Chain A
């Protein structure tokens, strides 16, 4: 059974940093592109970033997270990460990690339950 478990969310002050983790199980982690999608309270889904199976290709929603967020993965630990720096109030959201069917363009067939990030003083 595929499982994705996010952690690392919490309350952080504006300008601060957080690192989210997503522990994956139930599939060959290194074979699949992984992605982060966020959802602000009461709002719609917003794609944040994605990383290829081998970790050599990364893409970002440059409009919203350019230069502030870094995506990475450790295939030996079956874990996906999102390093978030210079956090702003508008980054407040539930952050979901999701597994692509194969590649980002194919859509995401499994999602975690999300971790809440709140940016506030």
Chain B
């Protein structure tokens, strides 16, 4: 199972919006609506930000949103804040009943 493809880095200024892509295949991202996004600050455990493509767990600001088109999912962070600077990982459930993660995107708030 190949890892999902994410850009290694993304950046934006405070208040701006940034979108991170997550490219998969018809056997994972394209196969269902089970794409999740995680935020990880240095030295910390990952935190669930989005699940089932576009749902937010309780406590996650609505500045974070998710979408999917075909084999590619996206995470958009609006109104960038300094604390949004972190690594972001997508994951997808696969047709083999496994999970696959993306390689991660380092988001820098300029």
Instruction: Give A residues with C-beta under 8 Å from B.
Output: 35, 37, 44-47, 50, 59-61, 63, 96, 98, 101, 104-109, 111-114
* Contact assessment for A108 and B48 in the assembled complex, using a CB-CB cutoff below 8 Å: yes
Known: A107-B34, A107-B52. A96 touches B45 (CB 8 A): yes
Query: Which 10 pairs show the lowest CB-CB distances between chains A and B?
Result: A107-B36, A107-B51, A105-B93, A47-B99, A111-B45, A44-B104, A105-B34, A45-B101, A44-B103, A109-B48
Measured in the bound complex, the distance between the Cα atoms of B57 and A104 in whole Å is: 16
* Contact assessment for B3 and A44 in the assembled complex, using a CB-CB cutoff below 8 Å: yes
B102 interface contact, C-beta 8 A: yes
Interface residues on B, range: 20 to 34
Known: A44-B89, A44-B103, A47-B91. A107 touches B98 (CB 8 A): no
Instruction: Give B residues with C-beta under 8 Å from A.
Output: 1, 3, 32, 34, 36, 38, 40, 45-48, 51-52, 57, 87, 89, 91, 93, 97-104
Closest to A108 in B: B48
* Contact assessment for B46 and A96 in the assembled complex, using a CB-CB cutoff below 8 Å: yes
Measured in the bound complex, the distance between the Cα atoms of B47 and A60 in whole Å is: 22
* Contact assessment for A104 and B89 in the assembled complex, using a CB-CB cutoff below 8 Å: no
* Contact assessment for B104 and A114 in the assembled complex, using a CB-CB cutoff below 8 Å: no
* Contact assessment for A105 and B32 in the assembled complex, using a CB-CB cutoff below 8 Å: yes
* Contact assessment for A106 and B47 in the assembled complex, using a CB-CB cutoff below 8 Å: no
Q: Which residue, of B40, B89, B98, has the highest number of chain A Cβ atoms within 10 A?
A: B98
Instruction: List 25 interface pairs A-B (beta carbons < 8 Å), by A numbering.
Output: A37-B101, A44-B3, A44-B102, A44-B104, A45-B40, A45-B89, A45-B91, A45-B101, A61-B98, A63-B1, A98-B46, A101-B57, A104-B97, A105-B99, A106-B34, A106-B52, A107-B36, A107-B48, A107-B52, A107-B91, A108-B46, A108-B48, A111-B45, A111-B46, A112-B45
